[in-house]
Structure 1
Amino acid sequence: MLSKNQIKLIKSLSQKKGRQQNGLFIVEGIKGVSEFLKSDYNLKHLYTTESIFDASIDLTSEISEVELKKYQHLKTRIQL
């Protein structure tokens, strides 16, 4: 379950102003997250519906599919 502060932060990152103020951005999708984890960027937090990424990442929280759909920024979604 996401806290109110986490929800507020995630929603703010959907706008350019929020990304600039927080110095953060959101990466969505399996391929995008995989590429991000290989990059030199620092991970603030990873929200996932399944443990498909490296379990050693201690900044990971599993959330429900319903929560994910509520807060995702991508308009189109591909079901696997």
Structure 2
Amino acid sequence: MTEDINLIDGLRERIRELEDKVEALRISRRVLMNLIDSLENEKRETLTQLVNKNEKLQKNNCRYAKALMCQNLKITKLEQELKNFSAST
């Protein structure tokens, strides 16, 4: 009888320990899920910033390429005029 009572007390203690561990795991899971959410939000924000920056750089690059083409066209015209002027004199 005493052995049964000791066994029951031991099992109850073990159940309490396991319940505490389960609770600790639940808390840990919540913390990890919050961290994952934070990281996902940060990643999303960073991606949005990088996409915006990339679009801005592409627009600037396009503007720069157009400006270079215009300058190149002016240089070509001036070279042609110089050749025509040299040929006429």
TM-score, L = length of structure 2: 0.16
Greater RCO (Cα-Cα under 8 Å, separation 6 or more):
1
When you count helix as a share of all residues, which structure comes out higher?
A: 2
Bigger radius of gyration: 2
Q: TM-score w.r.t. structure 1 length? A: 0.17
* Higher strand content, 1 or 2: 1
